[in-house]
Structure 1
Amino acid sequence: MDAWAANNEGRSVMSKDLNVHDVSTKTSHVNILVKNLSLTIPTPYYARSTSASLSTSDLSPGLSPYLAPSPNFTLLPQEIPLPSVDLGAAELELFSYYLSHTARSLAYDEDDLYALQVGFPNLAFRSKPLMSSILALAAVRKCHDLISQPLQRIDKSQVRHLLALADEHHRVSLRQTRADIPIANHYDHVVANAPLMVLYATANHAVRIHVEKTLDAGERTSLAPVQLHWMTLIRAAHLAYTGLLHSTKDFGFLEDFRASPPDITLNSQSTNGLVPLGENGPTPQTEQLLMPIIAATSGSALEKLRTRAQALEFAAHLKPSWESPGEDTELQACLVALEALSSIVNELFHPDQRAYTDSQQPDLEAGWAALSQLSDVSPWLRNYMARVTFSTPPKPLRRTIMWFLNRIPSEFLSIVESVLDTISTSPGSIPDEGIQCEGDVSETTRLAMDIFSHWLVLVMLLDGVWWIGGIGACELGRIVKYTRRKNFFGEFLGMETWWPRSMLNIAMEIGSQS
């Protein structure tokens, strides 16, 4: 502690010489994360506990809690050290559950476990938002374990309580992270929170899907899955990482960086004897039955998709440029997304034709990458961020498939999310087949949804990953029912022979046999 205090005192003296522009430069790339989290969390229909609830005054009207305000940098005469985080009895129980269950279930190998079970918890004791993210994840994991029991043993009131608690901790983390971005000595904590928020977003969505399938219709109304834009969260973490990686360090700060609080020293023996679960992707049943079918049919499905894209590209060349200026940009985004999808399919089913090799991955400890702002992040955290944002090996099946979201242009994701936002999350509210689709849907939008649906077929292979499993089939099911509306895809393809729908039907049939 004396060494840490001495270093911190040194930093406070040097902080007097900093100006507003310097601090803004140092934190600009971290803003990528929260500024991309422009999402809306729906208010649950259950009562909140008084200890963690947020009043309406906490969130400005019309402003999403995910949006970071413009930083208002104020230089204090002395930098305030990070306070320690105190936990109550219920929070300690959740924290213990995270260490014993959640962290191990999220880790793919020993390096992942090292960060999740030692690195993040150590940081969290000096960062309330990071601790809140850990507790939110623990609550969702505990809920998952509850609903995985036989139906007659499920405590429905505890399921509701855990989901409410997770939501509250997540909201607290978002609000505090937004406030922490301008503070230099919170740098590691803000970066560390990014992957935990991503895990929470997908885990919460997957667990609510599981709850909807498990509980009776009358019991699940307040627990149904909601549109959390989990895809945007995944992209936001990657953008924050790559923003830091490709930014140049201002060496005027060099002495200040050296005076930073010391890195956490992680004991290499901390995880000895604990074997990570290594949830790679499919369940044994999916791997044996569904995966071979998808592998055998994906090639012809992609060929049809390419033919459709080429037809649209040819038609676009025949149109005058002034007729639809925005459509060309959207079409190019679709072509990039299609290329990314093809690359991932090749990597999954034809590993000898991999487009991306390990030698093309950045070396984070050498060369220009070591001179970027990313070098100011603790080494263990830097390496973990590189792995989970799919920037460096290893690439288990789950990371290879989800990598698609980081390789597609933002224009493509905007098209997809604009359609998804019009599809209700309640299955019963989606009109049946034969109802005319309202408004004009462009051919580019149809192509984007076609490409996205093909990717969701691959996501169905991740049913063995607890924080992703169920998302692929659920989202594809919503799209299939929505696109049954008359002529959504035009006359180009028939719904009965549409590959995503065929794969979904096969997956449902296999699931019903288990």
Structure 2
Amino acid sequence: MHASSSSSTSPTQSFPPGFRSRRSHAKSRNGCLTCKQRRKKCDEKRPCCTLCETSLRTCTYASSDQGSSRSGESTAVPSRSSLPSPVPSPPGSFGGGLSWAQPTEQQLSRSPVASSGQGSIIDDANPYNITNSDLYFHFLHHTCRAAPSWQKDRLLLQVGIAKLALDNELASHAVLALAAACLCCDTMAQADADPEKVRHILDLGLEHHTLALEQMRTMTSHPRESDTQPLLASALVIVPFALAFQHIQHWVVRARGLPQQDADLVTPRDMILLLRGIRTTIVALNSNLVENGGSKPKSFWDTMLSSQPVDPTEAPTMPERLHTMYPILASTFYQASWQLKCRIEGALASPQVDEKIDSITETYEILNDIMSSTFLDCPRSKIPFEYDSTFSVSPDSLLAQAPGWLQNFILQRPRPSHAEPLSRSFFAFFSSAPQTYIDLLLPLLDPRTDATEGDRELSTAELLALDVYAHWLTVMLLLEKEAWWVGDFPFVALQGLVSRYGHGFSSASSLQQQWWPAAMLEVAARLKQWK
């Protein structure tokens, strides 16, 4: 099974209720091999000792016929016979409006999965036998370390959310879904990756993602104080899964050799809806007061990581700023942004002005601020935030009951610097954009749109909405190294956008200047050929 890791925390007497403390015993040489290797005192509980159980390690006894066992299945998952469609219908609101049938629940087998020898949780002899414990193990030992580039965010996953997943069903589903997506990407990176194996793992993640959304929808309808922490923590990981699902599904379709048109339009439609819903939920939690009034005393877990400043001068440069495309985008974005602004102003000067263009103007300003803050040495002081600058947490609100480390992450202001990831500010674009723009854009990003619908002539407002969106996708090309869950999504999504709506952007280019998103897509494609 897996080699042990020093990053997993052994239970001590200082842990809060919910963790099982090891019982005292006399000195013995009959402990499990895992505890011996880690030089820990084993309580010799069979078939799995307490230390291995709480840390989700493989518990093996040298002279026992029990075999190895791993427990820790905290949640039930749907049966394989009732899987939903591989591409979920995006919710109309936060976690709501799911169109697939409700799956029946049954417990997964707890039989262990043997190691493949490379730290993988997939047994080569039986690659489809992956349990919840296997996914959680992968979350602790790989996803937590690979997902965020910033150390403080990495600690938040490794400690805060990892612990919450053991105590709360909603957080467990969200964490297991993200771990499944991470495992998919790891499997795809192998030279002989099997698309059926990747699809199987992705289906497991989709099951957990579906259950997490259902529980979030129930909690947000009548929020309680006990729901605040799992709601906020789960929101941090369901968005990466929604985006990762898109490019993983696209890879599976291509690897199966299906027709190209079946995977042409890959969009962040689900992610946009989730981001908007999360913002609404945070505002709602800040508006609902604690029933009994007053705040409860903060425990160690509530206060950890709540105030740990990071000196940017001591932090390494983020990978996206070392991306090959970074200097190219930095040297061309200003002219591209100016040309986009001219196209919007030209539409406003038209005798028949669509009122929706005003929202596009506002959205353009948000995107321009993001690009300026990213590429200029002296960024503008005005940076778009997910929330108004006057937003503050009400002392007696449900939001105030969330631990400090979670509040700080949810409400932190995205300020791009060489030592902070760009993903926060890039995704703030959709959180900050006016609702009128979102309502205009989303129907155009629906992958289920008929071909005849995609061939219709776009209105000026629709064309400009897609134009702004295409510029956002272009800067997103920088994130393929910084965030595994982004991966090839920006490249594939931009390809699909040009394929479906490219005819509509002919007026955006001229003989002297090519349309910026298409030009950068061509550069990115050529760079991929040389990698």
Q: TM-score with structure 2 length normalisation?
A: 0.67
> Given the alignment of the two structures, is residue 165 of structure 1 paired with residue 204 of structure 2, yes or no?
yes
5 Å matches for 1:146-165? 146-150=187-191, 152=192, 154-165=193-204
User: Which of the two has greater helix per residue?
Assistant: 1
Q: How far does residue 491 in structure 1 lie from its aligned partner after superposition?
A: 4.2
5 Å matches for 1:240-251? 240-244=281-285, 247=287, 250=289
User: Take 1:101 and 1:370, find their aligned partners in 2: how far apart are those partners?
Assistant: 37
Contact 1:281 1:397 in 2 (8 A): no
User: Take 2:447 and 2:200, find their aligned partners in 1: how far apart are those partners?
Assistant: 29
Please name the residue that 1:311 is paired with. Answer: 346
Letter of the structure 2 residue corresponding to residue 291 of structure 1: Y
5 Å matches for 1:2-401? 50=79, 53=82, 66-67=95-96, 88=110, 90-150=131-191, 152=192, 154-181=193-220, 182=222, 184=224, 185-212=226-253, 215-218=255-258, 229-244=270-285, 247=287, 250=289, 253-255=292-294, 257-258=295-296, 264=301, 280-282=318-320, 284=322, 287-288=323-324, 290-315=325-350, 318-319=351-352, 327-328=354-355, 330-356=356-382, 370=395, 372-387=397-412, 390=414, 395-401=420-426
Distance verdict in 2 for CA 1:307–1:125, change over 3 Å: same
User: Take 1:472 and 1:406, find their aligned partners in 2: how far apart are those partners?
Assistant: 18
User: Take 2:81 and 2:155, find their aligned partners in 1: how far apart are those partners?
Assistant: 30
Query: For 1:388-443, what per-residue CA distance to the aligned partner results, in whole angstroms no more than 9, with x for missing partners?
Result: x848997422222222222211211222221122676xxxx979xxxx97445221
Please name the residue that 1:406 is paired with. Answer: 431
Letter of the structure 2 residue corresponding to residue 301 of structure 1: A
Q: How far does residue 343 in structure 1 lie from its aligned partner after superposition?
A: 0.7
Q: How far does residue 187 in structure 1 lie from its aligned partner after superposition?
A: 2.3
Query: For 1:207-260, what per-residue CA distance to the aligned partner results, in whole angstroms no more than 9, with x for missing partners?
Result: 2334445x2414999999865522222232234335545x3x6476324x438x
SS of the residue corresponding to residue 254 of structure 1 reads coil
Contact 2:385 2:432 in 1 (8 A): no
Letter of the structure 2 residue corresponding to residue 66 of structure 1: G
Q: How far does residue 501 in structure 1 lie from its aligned partner after superposition?
A: 0.6
SS of the residue corresponding to residue 293 of structure 2 reads helix
SS of the residue corresponding to residue 352 of structure 1 reads coil
Distance verdict in 2 for CA 1:479–1:103, change over 3 Å: same
Query: For 1:55-88, what per-residue CA distance to the aligned partner results, in whole angstroms no more than 9, with x for missing partners?
Result: 89xx99x99993179xxxxxxxxxxxxxxx9994
> Given the alignment of the two structures, is residue 441 of structure 1 paired with residue 458 of structure 2, yes or no?
yes
Q: How far does residue 191 in structure 1 lie from its aligned partner after superposition?
A: 2.0
Residue 488 of structure 2 is aligned with which of 470, 489, 492? 470
User: Take 2:234 and 2:218, find their aligned partners in 1: how far apart are those partners?
Assistant: 13
Q: TM-score with structure 1 length normalisation?
A: 0.69
5 Å matches for 1:471-490? 471-485=489-503, 488-489=504-505
Please name the residue that 1:509 is paired with. Answer: 526
Query: For 1:181-211, what per-residue CA distance to the aligned partner results, in whole angstroms no more than 9, with x for missing partners?
Result: 3252222112221111112111222323344
Distance verdict in 2 for CA 1:111–1:421, change over 3 Å: same
Contact 2:243 2:271 in 1 (8 A): yes
SS of the residue corresponding to residue 258 of structure 1 reads coil
Q: How far does residue 339 in structure 1 lie from its aligned partner after superposition?
A: 0.6
User: Take 1:123 and 1:441, find their aligned partners in 2: how far apart are those partners?
Assistant: 47
Distance verdict in 2 for CA 1:147–1:430, change over 3 Å: farther
Letter of the structure 2 residue corresponding to residue 50 of structure 1: S
Contact 1:140 1:166 in 2 (8 A): yes
Query: For 1:272-298, what per-residue CA distance to the aligned partner results, in whole angstroms no more than 9, with x for missing partners?
Result: xxxxx98945385xx23x222221111
Letter of the structure 2 residue corresponding to residue 408 of structure 1: A
User: Take 1:359 and 1:229, find their aligned partners in 2: how far apart are those partners?
Assistant: 21
SS of the residue corresponding to residue 484 of structure 2 reads coil
Letter of the structure 2 residue corresponding to residue 304 of structure 1: Q
Contact 1:105 1:279 in 2 (8 A): no
User: Take 1:361 and 1:471, find their aligned partners in 2: how far apart are those partners?
Assistant: 26
User: Take 1:500 and 1:128, find their aligned partners in 2: how far apart are those partners?
Assistant: 42
Please name the residue that 1:15 is paired with. Answer: none
> 296-305 vs 347-356, which deviates more?
347-356
Please name the residue that 1:454 is paired with. Answer: 471
Distance verdict in 2 for CA 1:363–1:297, change over 3 Å: closer
Q: How many residues align?
A: 416
Query: For 1:121-179, what per-residue CA distance to the aligned partner results, in whole angstroms no more than 9, with x for missing partners?
Result: 222222212101111111110110111111x3x23332121011111111111222223
SS of the residue corresponding to residue 405 of structure 1 reads helix
User: Take 1:340 and 1:402, find their aligned partners in 2: how far apart are those partners?
Assistant: 11
Q: How far does residue 113 in structure 1 lie from its aligned partner after superposition?
A: 2.0
Distance verdict in 2 for CA 1:220–1:91, change over 3 Å: farther
RMSD: 4.3
Please name the residue that 1:75 is paired with. Answer: none
Please name the residue that 1:14 is paired with. Answer: none
Letter of the structure 2 residue corresponding to residue 351 of structure 1: D
Contact 1:235 1:406 in 2 (8 A): yes
> 218-227 vs 293-302, which deviates more?
218-227
Query: For 1:460-498, what per-residue CA distance to the aligned partner results, in whole angstroms no more than 9, with x for missing partners?
Result: 11121211121111111111122333xx24745449821
Contact 2:374 2:416 in 1 (8 A): no
Contact 2:265 2:500 in 1 (8 A): no
SS of the residue corresponding to residue 485 of structure 2 reads coil
Contact 2:372 2:379 in 1 (8 A): yes
